[in-house]
Amino acid sequence: MSYSACVEASGIRGPSLAACRTAFVLSNWGRCCSAVLSVAAPQKKPLSCCMFVTMAASLRGSLVTLVKALGGPRWQQLASRPLSVSAGLCSPEAPPARADATFKVTMVPGDGVGPELMTAVKEVFKAGDVPVEFEEFHLSEVQNMASEDKLDQVLTSMKTNKVAIKGKIHTPMEFKGELASYEMRLRRKLDLFANVVHVNSLQGYSTRHNNLDLVIIREQTEGEYSSLEHESVTGVIECLKIITREKSRRIAKFAFDYATKKGRNKVTAVHKANIMKLGDGLFLQSCAEVAQLYPKIKYENIIIDNCCMQLVQNPYQFDVLVMPNLYGNIIDNLAAGLVGGAGVVPGESYSAEYAVFETGARHPFAQAVGRNIANPTAMLLSAANMLRHLNLEYHSHMVTDAVKRVIKQGKVRTRDLGGYSTTGDFVHAVVENLRHRPVY
């Protein structure tokens, strides 16, 4: 059966024809197309372009099952999914057609080398023809850019776009009338309760512990970072650490859901309940209660000081670690040091509605400003994770593969990895790898 005959029989017209043409070329099974149409036509079931593409790609050896399910609710749900999503899931290695619309993303370069790292992201995205448009805001507490209006503009943009990429906003140590930093206020306003840092060894760069693969999940809206401090009497400062059952259970459930979704086997709760019996005791109890809901995931707990030692001696024993705010901040940086430092580990923060992508170990690296020596690996990998979150699977794979290939080749390395290459050299190498991407 010819392509024209298939189209004529299906009754599909307009923009959907392009999808049908793709389906027919991919399948090249005229008889299968005839079979599908012969079943669909008597039932008067409309064939959306998504259904047509999916059926044509799945017909080989599955026609009987497919025909039985044609009128079911699952197919109706699949048919309503955007074609770009289905195409990305079907073949992330096949370059998609240029998107008609671009995704708007809030960009906050931050302090230190943040602006240089964001320039690297923009250059790579431009070279890769990534359909993302950045809404850029410069927010800082140390560069005379601090203002409530500017903070409100950033929050409005983030709430509108739902997705942001951000550098480190440096927090001054001096007290200037406000205890909560901009970082903390952004997290609270957007309820970015879960920070996720994936610590993964990079092929081509050898460290003491190779082939590491662990995830650190940190609750970052309460704990020691609650901004509740006061001088009770002269010379005596009280700092309050807030732990609630609601937020402890929420971060524990996030960790177990993450482990389930990613196919991981163990979650370890990190605490200091032997000393902070009520505060960390509540966190530990909440984690244990949630663990009972996930019998297929192994659950353990470990004291924070022992956890630090074990990470240095034998990090392979860990899979997913979940912990309160301060411990997570410390462990993030320690674990980053195991695989190459702050320049190579990406991170991301989530609420129920928003996602913010940044480096895993947050350092402004002020001493490197203007010297063209910062390592953009972590920010580029974080940007690639952002593309995956936006369902731009092809572009996410493209950027990730290019960055990791540069590291693996070992010819271009910034100073933090023992080389002499500049930030610009690394970005240029990534762009070249984008242009000469191997076909799988």
pLDDT band for 411, please (50, 70, 90 cuts).
very high
**How many angstroms separate the CA atoms of 108 and 364, rounded?**
13
* Nearest residue to 358 (alpha-carbon basis) of 332, 383, 340: 383
SS3 434: helix
Pairing label, strands 132-136, 103-108: parallel
Return all residues near 24 (Cβ < 8 A) that are at least 6 apart.
Answer: 3, 6, 33, 56
Q: What is the model's pLDDT at position 359?
A: 93
State the number of CA atoms in the 13 A half-sphere of 78 facing the CB. Answer: 20
Lookup result for tokens 């009497």: 233
One-letter-per-residue 3-state SS of 411-431: CCCEHHHCCCECHHHHHHHHH
**Cβ of 297: how many Cβ atoms within 10 Å?**
18
What amino acid is encoded at 292 in this protein?
A: Q
pLDDT digits (tens, 9 = 90+) for 138-156: 988 777 666 788 889 999 9
Q: What is the chain's mean pLDDT, rounded?
A: 82
Nearest to 74 by CA among 64, 82, 66: 66
Q: How confident is the model at residue 79 (pLDDT cuts 50, 70, 90)?
A: very low
Residue with more model confidence, 51 or 383? 383
Mean pLDDT confidence for 360-371? 79
Q: Is the pLDDT of residue 6 over 60?
A: no
- Ordered domains of the chain (ranges, CATH): 3-81 (no CATH), 206-339 (3.40.718.10)
Instruction: Give the 3-state secondary structure of residue 199.
Output: strand
What's the whole-model pTM score?
Answer: 0.77
Rounded to 5 degrees, what angle do the CA atoms 418, 424, 429 make? 80
137 neighbors 153 (Cβ within 8 angstroms): yes
Q: 219-240: b or e for each residue (b if 16 or more CB lie within 10 Å)?
A: bbbbbbbbeeeeeeeeeeeeee
The number of C-alpha atoms within 13 Å of 132 and in the hemisphere containing its C-beta is 30
Q: Which region among 32-41, 300-309, 414-423 has the lowest average model confidence (pLDDT)?
A: 32-41
Q: How confident is the model at residue 264 (pLDDT cuts 50, 70, 90)?
A: very high
361, 342 contact by CB (below 8 A): yes
pLDDT tens digit sequence for 226-257: 888 889 999 999 999 999 999 999 999 999 99
Give the pLDDT confidence score for residue 366 in this predicted structure.
73
Q: How many CA atoms lie within 13 A of 52 on its CB side?
A: 26
Q: Which of 102, 159, 111 is nearest to 134 (CA)?
A: 102
Cα angle value 182/185/187 (rounded, 5°): 110
Neighbouring residues of 236: CB distance < 8 A, sequence distance ≥ 6: none
Instruction: State pLDDT tens for residues 91-105.
Output: 445 555 445 578 999
Average pLDDT value for residue range 48-52: 48
Query: How many CA atoms does the CB half-sphere of 93 hold within 13 Å?
Result: 5
Query: Is the model more confident about 100 or about 72?
Result: 100
Q: Under a CB-based contact definition with an 8 Å cutoff, are residues 251 and 257 in contact? A: no
Cβ atoms of residues 403 and 381 within 8 Å: yes
> Under a CB-based contact definition with an 8 Å cutoff, are residues 103 and 392 in contact?
yes
Residue appearing with tokens 């022992």: 306
Q: What is the DSSP pairing of strand 229-233 with strand 355-359?
A: unpaired
